[in-house]
Amino acid sequence: MDGHCLLGLVNNAGIHVGLDALADQPVEKLRKQLEVNLVAQLIVTKAFLPQLGLDLTLKGKPGKILNMSSIYGSYTLPFSSAYSASKAGLNALSEGMRRELKPFGIGVVVIAPGALKSSCMLTLWLHIYFKHLAMLAASAS
């Protein structure tokens, strides 16, 4: 780094622990989802904050933090609540970081892509809805 700030940090790690109804999902799956998609991103960010500009002895413009979220942080599909909760949490965490780090010139950006239309996604969602068709029918009536 030669005494200069990092240009940026990209937090792109994430998992989807499974497609379960909340009533059937083990709490450990939810914990793992939150640990990877939310807590781990904070741990990595905190480790790099000095190099991003909190260390005022470094030269250059402070860096930016890019957190990869998902459209499902704002929109929850059935059987995917744990994933959505982890991404909604990341959105809230990012907003707080943005406000806290602004005085240091460190920017925080969230990218929230949606699902891609593909045969893989179609197969996945058909599997989900056929698997849980009885539950969906019961909740609709």
Residues 6+ positions from 96 with CB-CB distance below 8 Å:
none
Strand 64-68, strand 107-111: pairing: parallel
Residue 96 three-state SS = helix
The β-bridge partners of 108 are: 65
> CA 16, CA 54: separation in Å to the nearest integer?
32
Which residue in the list 72, 75, 83, 129 is annotated as catalytic?
83
Active site residue 75: no
Q: Which residues contact 42 (CB under 8 A, 6 or more apart)?
A: 93
Please give the DSSP secondary-structure letter assigned to residue 112.
Answer: -
The residue written with tokens 């010139």 in the block is: 105
Residues annotated as part of the active site: 83
